[in-house]
Amino acid sequence: MAASTKKNLLVIVDPQIDFYPGGSLAIAGADKDAERTAAMIRKNMDKIDHIAVTMDSHNRFHIANPLYWVDSDGNQVKPFTLITAADVKSGKYKTSRPEFQATGKEYVQKLESTGKFMHFIWPFHCIIGTPGHNVQPDIREAITEWADHKKSPIGWVPKGTNPHTEMFSAISSEVPNDDPQTQRNTKLVAEWATYDKIFFCGEAKSHCVNFTAMDFLEGADDALKQKTLLISDCTSNVPSFEQQGDDFEKAFAGLGCKVINSTDFAERCA
């Protein structure tokens, strides 16, 4: 019987230029994360059986971007604005296109009802077709070398393309709607779960790594949890969200998953 070719899966979450120093939503330390990730890939070409890369992929007109919202005077909202359901109900903020007012109002209400967080406006980032959407050069070069070495395709996973819901996780949007791309990707979860070890890294630990990994583990049995790992020194937090990242790492470990450093990757492989 042939040896299994589905031993070790590396999931790199959103390794895109806009999340690195100089990008529109730069994460402190992400450049060093990329260097460590690239070095880890090059040292373990034969141990990595598949690489999946999630890609934050937005239009400028997106519910978490400034263009979608205006204030009561009709001015475009600024990045880092917090919009609550009460704000939308009172008219403090409204959608820039009136036909989407009910959509925006319902979204903010449903998001708050999850208890995870309230709606937050980010700087324009990872806009499809812009340089910031591309993979960070260190990581891009390393995964290209891996693909050439293994003669194997990268598993590209776009997320965030629907303009009416935020999608931190590559598995499911924050508020799914009738677009299948916003709903839980059970096929992707099932595919990743077939590997003997599933390693997560990328940007940012506080957000997209956090929600992708935890969504992947939703409803998981102990066996799946025990073979899922976070490479902690290959991911960093969005500034001011350090506590959220720390809480994620603790919750991840509390499930029985492993938190490792990139230098431990080889010995943790199946």
Burial bucket for residue 173 (CB in 10 Å: 0-12, 13-18, 19+): buried
Average pLDDT, the chain: 96
The end-to-end CA distance of the chain, in Å, is: 18
* Domain-located, residue 3: no
Along the 270 residues of the chain, how does pLDDT read in single tens digits?
Answer: 345 678 999 999 999 999 999 999 999 999 999 999 999 999 999 999 999 999 999 999 999 999 999 999 999 999 999 999 999 999 999 999 999 999 999 999 999 998 888 899 999 999 999 999 999 999 999 999 999 999 999 999 999 999 999 999 999 999 999 999 999 999 999 999 999 999 999 999 999 999 999 999 999 999 999 999 999 999 999 988 999 999 999 999 999 999 999 999 999 999
Please check whether residues 105 and 181 belong to one and the same domain: no
Residue 1 falls inside a structural domain: no
**Structure confidence by residue, pLDDT tens digits, 199-217:** 999 999 999 999 999 999 9
Put simply, whether the predicted model's pTM sits higher than 0.85 gets the answer yes
Which residues contact residue 151 at a Cβ distance below 8 angstroms, ignoring those fewer than 6 apart?
none
74 and 192 co-located in one domain: no
Percent residues over pLDDT 90 in the chain: 95
Question: Is the same domain home to 74 and 13?
Answer: no
Residue 261: alpha-carbon gap to chain centroid: 19
- Per-residue confidence (pLDDT) for residue 116, from 0 to 100: 83
Give tens-digit pLDDT for 38-82. Answer: 999 999 999 999 999 999 999 999 999 999 999 999 999 999 999
Residues 87 and 165 in one domain: no
Give the residue numbers spanning the domain of 175: 8-59+125-268
Number of domains observed in the structure of the chain? 2
Same domain, 37 and 144: yes
